[in-house]
Amino acid sequence: MANEFKVTPWTVTGNVDYEKLTKEFGTEPLTDEILNRIKRHTKELHVLLRRKVFFSHRDMKWLLDEYEKGNKFFLYTGRGPSGPVHIGHLIPWIFTRWLQEKFDAELWFQFTDDEKFLFRKKDEVGIGEYTKIAYENALDVIALGFNPKKTHFLIDSLPETAGMMYKEAIRIADKITASTAKAAFGFDDSYSIGQFFYTAMQAVPAILPSALKGVNIPCLIPLGVDQDPHFRVARDVYTKLGFYKPALIHAKFMAGLLADGKMSASIPNSTIYTTDSPKEVEEKIKKHAFSGGRTSLEEHRKYGGNPDIDVCYQWLYNFFEPDDKKLAKIYDDYKSGKMLTSELKDYTIAKINAFLKEHQKKREKAKSQIEKFLFKA
Ligand code: TYM
């Protein structure tokens, strides 16, 4: 049977074939040529670039051309505050922080409490619940080390943000037909008009600094590839309104603990949250992490394991073991049967818990910093 997968901003299912997705979405592969151009400015490549976790883009060549002409860009990314943040969400944000530092760029970060209200599954929850979650999630973003002087948080439903964004959102919404939204997102007539409108809100921050300053500024959006369709729909609209199209750089998904699919907050057993205790991380990984090991110790020693399908190995590869030599040794030892599944799991648990220990400390500190990050007109 053909490998069926689906990627929309609200649903990711199946085993994603990223090459096929690049063609389907009409994006471009992130080639070595572009990586080398980035490296010329940053001196080194972030592990997420080296390992091709970021794998695809739109208009990166244009963005770099502009940068090399002295036309600096700003960064834009975001979070839909539906619940606690998991370690998969951190992937685009960690990379964004690195870009902020290397390119000395401003960042606009959008928290879409309106989106989560409009796409919620339970009727009884009011928008204020999602606004509260946005403040909680903001702590995780701050904990990653963004520069408060150059970072602006937008929480969509807050009056100041909403008032500022609405003028641009209606101009964008005016140019997107219902049939375009249906084709891009798979909506049908049962979707609310709020859901149809929402894309306009996510499109706004890519032009907001340009609109506020009255001068066009290039924009780069690092994001998980599931969020690409919003910007695909908005691309032509930006130019119709006299703005640049933003450049995009897309990440693959960090796998969930289970055999299939991305880490997703709606499947708790698939997920390590940033607030999990060391014990919880240990238990989840020991109990649920899909392994490429053999069924018995004898078989594992004799035939070896399969790192390519092992979730712990994937996480080390993605981000948690940046040392290429150590990673290669783990790969070889696991494949040959010298390293056991329990050893690979223990190694990964230690890496993730060390990361989370630091993250949680910074997250606590962030509680007194949040005001510095909220955008004020
Ligand atoms: P949200 O909250 O679903 O996800 C936040 C960011 O995390 C990415 N992501 C992942 N990346 C790697 N591995 C995973 N398992 C994983 N799961 C999620 C998402 O692609 C996203 O980049 N509508 C958006 C919020 C938003 C936004 C934006 C995102 C508003 N403006 C601009 C990107 C760019 C949302 O609900 O993201």
Print pLDDT tens along the chain (377 aa): 456 899 999 999 888 999 999 999 999 999 999 999 999 999 999 999 999 999 999 999 999 999 999 999 999 999 999 999 999 999 999 999 999 999 999 999 999 999 999 999 877 789 999 999 999 999 999 999 999 999 999 999 999 899 999 999 999 999 999 999 999 999 999 999 999 999 999 999 999 999 999 999 999 999 999 999 999 999 999 999 999 999 999 999 999 998 777 888 877 788 999 999 999 999 999 999 999 999 999 999 999 999 999 999 999 999 999 999 999 999 999 999 999 999 999 999 999 999 999 999 999 999 999 999 999 87
Residue/partner pairs of 188-195 with CB below 8 Å, 24 or more apart: 192/118, 194/118, 195/118, 195/119
3-state secondary structure of 281: helix
Q: Does residue 318's CB lie within 6 angstroms of at least one atom of ligand 1?
A: no
The CATH number covering residue 308 comes to 1.10.240.10
What's the total number of domains in the chain?
A: 2
Residue 50 domain flag: yes
Q: Does residue 77's CB lie within 6 angstroms of at least one atom of ligand 1?
A: yes
Residue at a domain's end among 253, 278, 311: 253
Q: Residues 243, 276: one domain?
A: no
| Residue 127 exposed, middle or buried by CB count within 10 Å (0-12, 13-18, 19+) | middle
Q: Does residue 115's CB lie within 6 angstroms of at least one atom of ligand 1?
A: yes
Among 15, 87, 89, residue to substitute to test ligand 1 (most atoms within 8 Å of Cβ): 89
| Residue 91 exposed, middle or buried by CB count within 10 Å (0-12, 13-18, 19+) | buried
- Centre of ligand 1 from the C-alpha of residue 88, in Å: 9
- Centre of ligand 1 from the C-alpha of residue 99, in Å: 17
Residue 158 domain flag: yes
Q: Residues 249, 335: one domain?
A: no
Q: Residues 216, 241: one domain?
A: yes
The CATH number covering residue 133 comes to 3.40.50.620
Residue 218 domain flag: yes
Q: Residues 147, 278: one domain?
A: no
Rounded to an integer, what distance in angstroms lies between the CA atom of residue 308 and that of residue 331?
Answer: 9
Q: Does residue 207's CB lie within 6 angstroms of at least one atom of ligand 1?
A: no
Q: Does residue 202's CB lie within 6 angstroms of at least one atom of ligand 1?
A: yes
Whether the model clears a pTM of 0.85, i.e. scores above it, the answer is: yes
Rounded to an integer, what distance in angstroms lies between the CA atom of residue 352 and that of residue 42?
Answer: 27
Residue 12 domain flag: yes
Q: Does residue 79's CB lie within 6 angstroms of at least one atom of ligand 1?
A: yes
Helix 127-143 with 341-366: angle, nearest 10 deg: 110
Q: What are the b/e assignments for 249-277, b being 16+ CB within 10 Å? A: bbbbbbbbbbeebbbbbeeeebbbbbbbe
Q: Residues 297, 237: one domain?
A: no
Residue 332 domain flag: yes
Which tokens belong to 130?
């999602």
Tell me the pairing of strands 247-251 and 151-155: unpaired
Rounded to an integer, what distance in angstroms lies between the CA atom of residue 220 and that of residue 226?
Answer: 16
Q: Residues 242, 280: one domain?
A: no
Residue at a domain's end among 225, 253, 281: 253
Q: Residues 34, 60: one domain?
A: yes
Domain assignment of residue 29, given as a range: 6-253
Which of ligand 1's atoms lies nearest the C-alpha of 82? 2
Q: Residues 37, 112: one domain?
A: yes
Residue 261 domain flag: no
Rounded to an integer, what distance in angstroms lies between the CA atom of residue 78 and that of residue 153?
Answer: 9
Q: Residues 313, 240: one domain?
A: no
Residue at a domain's end among 221, 253, 285: 253
Q: Residues 150, 293: one domain?
A: no
In the numeric block, the tokens 């049939």 are attached to 179
Rounded to an integer, what distance in angstroms lies between the CA atom of residue 157 and that of residue 161?
Answer: 7
Among 15, 154, 227, residue to substitute to test ligand 1 (most atoms within 8 Å of Cβ): 227
Residue 60 domain flag: yes
Q: Residues 197, 334: one domain?
A: no
Q: Residues 248, 330: one domain?
A: no
Residue 373 domain flag: no
